Structure 1
Amino acid sequence: MLYGICSDIHSNLAAFEAVLQSMEDNRVERTVCLGDLVGYGADPNECVELAKVNMDVCLIGNHDSVAIKHESSLGFNPFAKQAIEWTQRALSVDSVAYIRSLPYIHEENDICFVHASPLSPADWVYVTELEDALDAFENFSGRYCFVGHTHSPIIVASRSLAIPKVLDEYEYVIADTERLLVNVGSVGQPRDRDPRACWCLLDTETKCVRLIRVDYDIARTQESMRKAGMPSFLIDRLSVGR
């Protein structure tokens, strides 16, 4: 099975369209979105609609949860707060209903999918350090766990009785004794100094995981955000991937 796994779309329609095309080009058979369809960008309803049509599995992220007023935006920085409050006003009834239907976590075929961490999925725990990865490995039972939330792609391999290892490569074939924790990066808001959209291809037959970068029309997204009155900081950061 070829899985296409993405996360953190953040209302970036141009980036989402480019990633969906890349998935099609790579003959993906099953598609998964790990959440945060909305927030930051200016095309939330369009991105929700694309997810409804194109994703076999879609999870809820923290921005999605705040967007439907399931929880408060008090923890957001001022720029994110401004964008999510705009999103709350912009979301259609159908978009809100779809987001409300999304689960926090999904497991199938020895794979765990979650937005933040399998450790208390609804608490939006960031996996940014090795200790966070250790907690994550202890809270899923399969061979693979795919997460998003940090907007920075990374692969962490774990073997029995060994400390998990952060890998330098973005393409990796899992060994028989290993388990993997993979952050699939962000489609619409990359923060690893690479402005290209990111998604992950999993081949369950070859046991290969590959993080794929995709060029998209950043200027188109920025123009859409300007028209919506989004903060310049959110607009400018897309050009540099931070």
Structure 2
Amino acid sequence: MKIGVITDVHGNAPALKAVLNELDKRRDIEHIYCLGDMIGIGPDTNEVLETLFARTDVSMITGNHDEAVLALLKGEEHPLSHSHAKEHHQWIADKMDKGFISKLEVLPRTISQTIEGKSILFIHYHIKRAKLNDHISQDPFSRIVEPGLDNLTSLFEGYEEDLICFGHHHPLHFFEGDNTIFLNPGSLGCNSKPTAPYSIVNIEKDKLVVSLEEVAFDNTRFLESYERLQVPERDFLINVFHGNQLKP
């Protein structure tokens, strides 16, 4: 069985559609797992959510941006650790079709499955078990560690899955330990070049084979939309999360 793994779309509709088109063209992908942060940063909130929720072959979990925006929409406490992003999150919340609230709030934080005898955990980023049900305002997600097998093995100590798929930290992570493979395909929507990364996992009874992929797409109109839509902190966002690609 082959599955697609995507994460951190971050409101980037053309990147998402480019990846889904590639997965659809293959005709051998049985399911797609989206590992949170569908919204935030990029302005295409409604288009991204509409695209994902319209599919029957996509399972989603929530990330910190999804939950922080949702907290504002529900009149709940916004995380103090995200105070620097509160104005931006409020802008996303104000623009979001409120019909998505009920769909987002029922998404899980984790998905655990056994496929072809292999145990797999899908999670946005590490959360201590005691914090799995904590509200986003309580900062349940662990601090980011530098990519590396030793760091991830230590971070996910106590998790015994054969494969742990996650996102949150935007660079690619792919590390094979003695018992566990750690996979973060990289942020689909935030890249310093006009490409969108994703992964394919071929799950067999005796092995897991991970393929790291990316697709090129035209991101010109997407980047220009930050200015056209007057996205808060747009210069900072384009510089930090998109490699300042609009710079002459």
Q: Which residue of 2 aligns with 1:151?
A: 170
Does structure 1 residue 86 correspond to structure 2 residue 91? yes
Counterpart contact for 2:61–2:110, Cα < 8 Å: yes
Write the distance in 1 (CA, Å) between the matches of 2:87 and 2:109. 24
Q: Which runs of 5+ in 1 are unaligned?
A: 160-177
1:199 corresponds to: 198
- Say yes or no: does 1:210 pair with 2:211: yes
**In structure 2, what is the equivalent of residue 124 of structure 1?**
141
Q: Secondary structure at the match of 2:180?
A: strand
* Amino-acid identity (%): 26
Matched letter for residue 24 of structure 1: D
Aligned residue runs from structure 1 range 21-32, under 5 A: 21-27=21-27, 28-32=29-33
Matched residue of 1:40: which SS?
A: coil
What secondary structure does 1:181 align onto?
strand
* Structure 2 unpaired stretches of 5+: 135-139
TM-score (norm 1): 0.82
Matched, 1:74 2:80: yes
Letter in 2 for 1:124: F
Following TM superposition, the consecutive aligned residue runs of length 4 or more in structure 1 with deviations greater than 6 angstroms are none
Q: Residues 23-72 of structure 1: CA distance to partner in whole angstroms, max 9, x if unpaired?
A: 11233111110000100111111111111123531000000000111551
* Equivalence map 1:163-178=2 (5 Å): 178=179
Report what 1:41 is aligned to. Answer: 42
- Is 1:102 paired with 2:107? yes
Per the TM alignment, residue 237 of structure 1 is displaced from its structure 2 partner at its CA by 4.5
Alpha-carbon separation, structure 1, partners of 2:52 and 2:240: 24
What is the CA deviation profile of residues 182-233 of structure 1, one whole-angstrom value per residue up to 9, with x for unaligned ones?
112111113xx55521111000036210111111221121122222212122
1:241/1:117 Cα in 2 relative to 1: closer, same or farther (>3 Å)? farther
RMSD: 2.2
Q: TM-score, normalised by structure 2?
A: 0.81
Count of residues in correspondence between the two structures: 221
Structure 1: how far apart are the matches of 2:213 and 2:93? 31
- Separation in 2, partners of 1:9, 1:85: 18
What does residue 8 of structure 1 align with?
Answer: 8
Q: What's the counterpart of residue 52 of structure 1?
A: 53
Q: Distance in 2 between matches of 1:204 and 1:5?
A: 12
Equivalence for 1:112? 121
AA partner of residue 88 (structure 1): A
Are residue 232 (structure 1) and residue 235 (structure 2) matched? yes
> Residues 59 and 186 (structure 1 numbering): CA distance in 2 closer, same or farther, change over 3 Å?
same
The 1:74/1:216 distance shift into structure 2, 3 A limit, reads: farther
